[in-house]
Amino acid sequence: MPIPQIIIDPLPRTMEMIFDAETRRRLENLGTLITFEPEPPTEEELDRVLGETDVLIGQTTLPSSRLERAPKLRAIFNVEGNFLPNIDYEYCFAHGIRVLVASPAFATSVAEMALAFALDLARDISAADRDFRHGVEKYGLESNRNSFLFTGCKVGLIGFGDLARAFRALLSPFRCPVKAHDPWMPDRLLLAHDCLPATLDEVLSTSDAVFVFASVTSENQGFLGKREFSLLRKGAIFVLMSRAAVVDFEALTEAVESGRIKAATDVFPVEPFAADHRIRTLPNVLLSAHRTGGMKEAFLEIGRLVVSDLELVLRGLPPISCRVAQPETVGRMRSKPVENS
C-alpha cells in the first residue's frame, strides 16, 4: 500500500496547539505530512500537492474546482470546530469523501462550565464574593434570599447535540427533572438521555434553569427574543452557551435588567464586546468572554479526535470520534468561525 499523503492547514489553530507529542507521533506514523503553517497554502502550493493527497486536515477552501484535482482525497477534518461554507459538500458526498469536524473536543470543557454557571447563579456565588470584597457581605440565611437549591430544580435544555449530552450526564446526581427541545432530534433520543421532549415554549415557561446549547442554523437566528424571555419564570436562570446569534441580545439584557431573571452568557454579538454596554454593570448576570471552550486541553483533544478517526479511515473503516457532516444538515450551519484561538 502506498504511503498516504496528509495535508495539514490548521489555521486558526497551530500544529502545536492541537497535537501533543504523543498524538503527533501517532500522526506521523500514518503517512507523509505536508504542513502549511503559519500561512495557508497558496494556489500553487495546493496545485502541487492535491493530486496525491489522501487526507486534508484543516479549513482550506475547497470548491469543486479544487476537489476535482484531488482524486485520491478520502477525508477532510475541520479542526476549527464548526462546519463552514468552505467546502463543496455535495461534491464530497457524491464522491465518498468523508467531511468531519472535531467539535466533540469541546464538550467536556463546555459542559462543566455550563454547570458552574448555573450553580453560580442559583446560589449567588460570584455576587456574594463581590459583596465580600466590598465589605458588605451578608451571612447565612440572609445572604440566600435570592438563592435556590440547584439540586432537584427543573432544568430545560434548548439544543441537544454533543454539548448538551455531555452536560446532561453531569446533571445526573442532581436529580433534576429535565425537559429538552431540539427540533432535529427524535423524542426517543431525548428520552434515552432521561429528558422529556418539550416544545420551546414549554421549556421556557416551566424551567427553573434554562440552558441554550443550540447551534446557529439558517432557521434559528435570533429565535430567543422578547417574547421568549417573557415566558421565563420569575427568578429563573438562563445560561447561554452556544452562540450569541441565537438570541436577541438586547432582549436578553432587558430581561436581566428588569430583575425577573438571572443570566450567564459566554458569547456576545460582537467580540470583544462593547466596553460601555450596560450588561457589564448588572448585578444578576455572570459574564464570560467566550472562554468556555477555548482551553489548552480542549485543543489537544481536537488532535486526538482527528488522529483516532484518521487511523480508522486509513484502515478502510468508518470514522467514529469526530462529528461526520450529514448531507441533510451541513448546509444549514451558520456559526461564525473564531478568528483566532
User: Which backbone phi and psi does 180 adopt, to 5 degrees?
Assistant: -135, 145
| Cβ-based nearer residue to its own copies, 47 or 129 | 129
Smallest distance from its own copies to CB 199, Å: 16
Smallest distance from its own copies to CB 45, Å: 28
Handedness of CA 22, 27, 31, 32 (dihedral sign): negative
Nearest C-alpha neighbor of 166 from the set 99, 203, 115, 120: 115
| Cβ-based nearer residue to its own copies, 46 or 57 | 57
| Cβ-based nearer residue to its own copies, 41 or 217 | 217
| Cβ-based nearer residue to its own copies, 11 or 231 | 11
| Cβ-based nearer residue to its own copies, 44 or 134 | 134
SS3 7: strand
172, 194 in Cβ contact below 8 A? Answer: yes
Sort residue 83 into left (φ over 0), alpha (ψ -120 to 50) or beta: beta
Indicate the DSSP class of residue 78.
Answer: E
| Cβ-based nearer residue to its own copies, 71 or 320 | 320
User: Which backbone phi and psi does 201 adopt, to 5 degrees?
Assistant: -65, -35
| Cβ-based nearer residue to its own copies, 32 or 143 | 143
Q: What gap in Å lies between CA 67 and CA 73, rounded to an integer?
A: 8
Smallest distance from its own copies to CB 281, Å: 7
| Cβ-based nearer residue to its own copies, 250 or 289 | 289
Smallest distance from its own copies to CB 17, Å: 8
The set of cell numbers assigned to 113 is 462550565
Q: How many other β-carbons are positioned within 10 Å of the β-carbon of residue 270?
A: 9
Smallest distance from its own copies to CB 147, Å: 6
| Cβ-based nearer residue to its own copies, 32 or 146 | 146
Q: How many other β-carbons are positioned within 10 Å of the β-carbon of residue 314?
A: 17
Smallest distance from its own copies to CB 82, Å: 14
7, 58 in Cβ contact below 8 A? Answer: yes
Q: What is the dihedral of CA 33, 39, 45, 47, to 10 degrees?
A: 90
Smallest distance from its own copies to CB 36, Å: 21
- CA distances, 269 to each of 216, 225, 241, 243 (Å): 13, 14, 13, 8
Smallest distance from its own copies to CB 42, Å: 27
159, 210 in Cβ contact below 8 A? Answer: no
Smallest distance from its own copies to CB 156, Å: 19
Crossing angle for the helix pair 125-133 and 107-123, nearest 10 degrees? Answer: 60
